[in-house]
Structure 1
Amino acid sequence: MKISLKPLSQQTIVITGATNGIGLATAQAAAKRGANLVLAARNEEVLAKTVRELEESGVRALYVVTDVGRREDVERLAQSAIEHFGGFDTWVNNAGQGLWGRLEEVTDEDHRRLFDINFWGVVYGSTTALRHLKKQGGALINLGSVASDFAFPIQGMYSTTKHAIKGFTDALRRELNDEGAPVSVTLIQPAAIGTPFALHAKNYTENEANLPQPIYAPEDVARTILLAAEQPRRALHIGGAGKLMGIFSRLTPGLVDTTSSFMIKSQLKPEPKRHRQDSLWQAGQDGQVRGDQSFIRRSGYTAAIVNPLASLLVVGAVGVGIGFAVWNKLKD
């Protein structure tokens, strides 16, 4: 079945984890494109502030306090969207949590809670959203990671949750294809992104957690999510470095294994960790799109995915410029 998705200006979009980082960036970008928004997170204060600011700019928005690790919360989120807007066209399972620590050191309780948020939140969101999307069509967008393809030491269970999200999303897409359901299912796979992710993660190590370079802009992820909301896509990577890491992990797994010490060191700063409240078991200090990283870059790889025509024009212009320079040189 050919899947047809509406323009963003005609859509109602549900976004989980909408009070910081990628979720907040996506909400802001979707608002500029004229979409109605249903925002979900655990932090009611920041949710209310975000919706108030959106409404002041002329956007129709609703918030629902939601712990995605509880199915009843997710079902209430969907029902609120239906009651307020008559339904929704795109559902973005973005909510996620980080955890640094060796697998043998992290408690079972913390590991299970991480799975509740990262994996079961996607399962609950997907199966709940599909009851509505299968009737009218639309897009289901799940946030995986470069860690869906590449397992990071001391982020072992986080990587495991993202591997599980990829397996779940691929299997779900194939079942929907078999049914002929009018739903596009997309897996978004960001590399390291300059959000407050590390500040909110639980950290069992003695050092401040660190996202290794290159670190890409959360706005790049938002652009890619909104692309998938309008154009059916199977999977989209953000950041060329992340794409390469997945390729190396498949082609040279033994070589990748030998770099484990380097990978661990690259994820930790030399400074001792600061004691702060993480957001594994409670809402975090939300409200920011970007984190405290010193250098955040825009992804040329992602720009080429989002706007391939513009990229071809740039490449063409560069080629013409080089050709003209060579012609002048030969002429002299």
Structure 2
Amino acid sequence: MVTFFEAALEHLSIHRIGNKMQEEFYVLSEEPFRIDDELLNNLLMQYYLKPFEKVNEVYRFMHSSGNLELNEMFHFCTEIFDDPLRFHENSQMMAKFLYDVSTHPKIKSGELYVVSFKNVQIEGEVLDAIGVFKSETKETYLKVFPEKSGFRLEYEQEGINIQKLDKGVLIFKTDKSEGYKVLVTDQTNRSTEAVYWKDDFLKLQIRNDSYNQTSAALGVYKDFITTRVDEEFELTKADKIDLLNKSMKYFKEKESFDLDEFSNEVIVNPDAIASFKAYKSNYEQEFDTEINDSFDISAAAVKTQARKFKSILKLDKNFHIYIHGDRELIEKGFDEGRSMNFYKVFFKEEQ
């Protein structure tokens, strides 16, 4: 999604953010940080941008009122894009705002880095970008130095591992009226206190582009097959795997998605088609999102979702059957003598 072999770090401001609920304070630097060391510059580029190479979901800034200007981070970023001379001033405003929303007692204090970049590529487009990053996790490092006939061993506490960015966001200078293109990462997002980064600080909403449309459509269909279809229809696990395989085949072979075409080719059964469409509609209402009836298919989203589609039929602890092809070549039955289920598999030759 993101490449940065042509990118350049233009400006960097560093601030310290404490936890407001723990009566810690914030510390603002008076001026931007000057980087004179080329190696340090390269290390920072890796630290800040490499985690976004595998991030595919694109977000946008939003505000519940519909007025983007009321989104604080959208406002600060716009100020910087419009007038780069106000970069440091707005980085300070970002730091103060992050401090104000750090209201959970378990939120860790840490350094906030606000960075302006040139020539960062996203979806084939080279753009200016603003990065905002927070380091929370500190580690201890050992240092070994050769010394006369042996070595000297030292340590450094409270160090930052540049392979582990805790929190980060990239805002690209494009699609301003739509809330910009925004990528976000949060390595502590499994904890309840971590939602402040994306929800309170950034106020993000998923973009309605081809990647997210493809991902959402596959996700809803997978949930329908694995969790809902049993309530209305009698299907074996092999039948479910076959339906999942057919859907993945459709998305891999087609360039665009059409709901009716997909339903007729993959689901086939009219009652099941009606049930799936109702399930999709309920999902859209519950999560306040829209999955269009037609859209261009994103190959990247298909590749990501394919990892989540399981085609393994697990039978007790004795056998795993991988079903990749014709559903008609596997039959389920019941052996009265053994009082056990069985599957009969047809094939022409062993490989």
Q: Normalising by the residue count of structure 2, what TM-score does the alignment of the two structures yield?
A: 0.23
Larger of the two Rg values belongs to structure:
2
**Greater per-residue helix proportion:** 1
More RCO (CA 8 Å, sep 6+): 1
**Greater per-residue strand proportion:** 2
